[in-house]
Amino acid sequence: MSTGFVDKVTISVKAGKGGDGAVTFHREKYVAAGGPDGGDGGRGGDVILAVDDHLSTLMDFRYKRKFTAGNGENGLNKRCSGKDGASVIIKVPRGTLVRDKETGGIMADMSGDEPFVLARGGRGGWGNQHFATPTRQVPRFAKPGLPGESHEVVLELKLLADVGLVGFPNVGKSTLLASVSRARPKIADYHFTTLSPNLGVVYVAEGASFVLADIPGIIEGASEGVGLGHDFLRHIDRCRLLIHVVDASGSEGRDPVEDFEVINRELEEYSPELASRPMIVAANKCDLLGEDREPLERLRSHVTELGYDFCEISAATTSGTRELMQRAAALLAALPPITVYEPDYVPPAPDLGSAEDLDIYLDDDVWYAEGPWMDRLVSTVNFTDYESRMFFDKMLRDNGIYERMEALGVKEGDTISICGMTFEYKS
């Protein structure tokens, strides 16, 4: 597509790695055995999406497709934690849908004002200050920082418009938009003047307004990728109401009834749900009919038999346009609000490596279960959430960790330490 309008891109994001914990010991004159004082590593930076209403396309992503947040700094001595990594904020137009590239699952719908954390930074590792016990006073180890999340996602812009104008190229959609709003789309007497969607706000009465979108002309085969329609049909996905603009004068040498049916078939092919939306048929260019009103009356008869609202207008002279917008506003008042897509992305099961390498040992009446497998598992668990805790319990049970513990002598009521957290063992 040669136009500068960009409404679908793929980007890669990577959050920062957590900093490593420090292995240091307190050194001060006249203070013997100061003990471990290694600080914790800083948290890795997040990758965050935020809505920017000054953006109307995804053009900025044409030249930058990879985003990486800063890593957390390593821990320091004197129990000082490393600095958190710098987060990256990615600005997107309102209405951007975020999908996981591999599964197609919806991760977020950027229609509101709340930022969305697309990739979370890794947790910083604990310094050796956390691992001192009465019998292990000189711990010479610390925890490494955990890696941040990474994703490859598809950003897809779906305009937030209440009403969408659909129809063949050059039927007067842009002229209609310009006549009823302050939008100033490019208008000329040739096909595909509109190469990108245009939005305008229509004020019907005091306190009553709605957003109207002029979608580039659809032609036969658009749902299969012919012409421009395929690229822009997604922008009417959210529209609560469609205004189907038809050239009633046949000025392009086409039959109005056939035009109406062709566009409806394309909508049906693209999305049956979209084709079932409420629709007003606007018979445009009625000022060019002259005395022969037969094409207009055939269209009126065909449309009303199918149960659609029918309006006779001339966008060029504004005749009937106010009545059309009032009718649209009245229908909108009874329709549900604009669709906001609910996330349905399910993160894949984490690759946790091998549980067989886990080190389970007793130290000062506390059992420890340590190793990279456990570190990665704990990083995926939210211990304040019941289902997440059940997932953690299932992973330990399915991988034979409980069985190994009991074989080594762990009994009911013993204290278990995992990644600095203590639990009471229950068989």
Gap between the Cα atoms of 358 and 372, Å rounded = 8
Q: Are 369 and 400 in contact (CB under 8 A)?
A: no
Domain boundaries, the chain: 1-157, 163-332, 353-427
Structure tokens at 381: 């668990």
**Average pLDDT of the chain?**
85
Evaluate if residue 88 carries a pLDDT over 60: yes
Name the pairing type of β-strands 163-166 and 241-247: parallel
Q: At 71, is the secondary structure helix, strand, or coil?
A: coil
- Going by pLDDT thresholds of 50, 70 and 90, the confidence category of residue 227 is very low
Class of the CATH-defined domain 353-427? alpha beta
pLDDT tens figures, 342-368 = 999 988 766 656 788 888 998 878 888
Count helices and strands (H / E) in the chain: 9, 18
Q: What is the CB neighbour count within 10 angstroms for residue 206? A: 6
Alpha carbon 406 to chain centroid, angstroms? 45
Mean pLDDT of 106-127: 94
Between residues 293 and 230, the one the model is more confident about: 293
What Å distances lie between residue 247 and 176, 181, 199, 250, CA to CA? 12, 21, 21, 6
Q: Residue 97: its pLDDT value, please?
A: 95
Q: Residue 371: its pLDDT value, please?
A: 84
DSSP string, 140-181: ---PPPPPPPEEEEEEEE----SEEEE-STTSSHHHHHHHHS
In the CATH hierarchy, which fold is given to the domain comprising 1-157?
Spo0b-associated Gtp-binding Protein; Chain: A, (2.70.210)
Mean pLDDT of 272-281: 91
Q: Residue 222: its pLDDT value, please?
A: 46
pLDDT tens figures, 22-64 = 988 887 776 556 788 899 999 999 999 999 988 888 888 988 9
pLDDT tens figures, 320-333 = 999 999 999 999 99
Q: Residue 274: its pLDDT value, please?
A: 84
Class of the CATH-defined domain 163-332? alpha beta
Range with the poorest average pLDDT among 62-71, 189-198, 269-278, 380-389: 189-198
Q: Which residues are paired to 25 by β-bridges?
A: 36
Evaluate if residue 190 carries a pLDDT over 50: no
Between residues 15 and 128, the one the model is more confident about: 15
Evaluate if residue 409 carries a pLDDT over 50: yes
Helix H or strand E segment including 257: helix 256-270
Amino acid at 375: D
Evaluate if residue 191 carries a pLDDT over 50: no
Q: What is the CB neighbour count within 10 angstroms for residue 238? A: 23
Between residues 239 and 376, the one the model is more confident about: 239
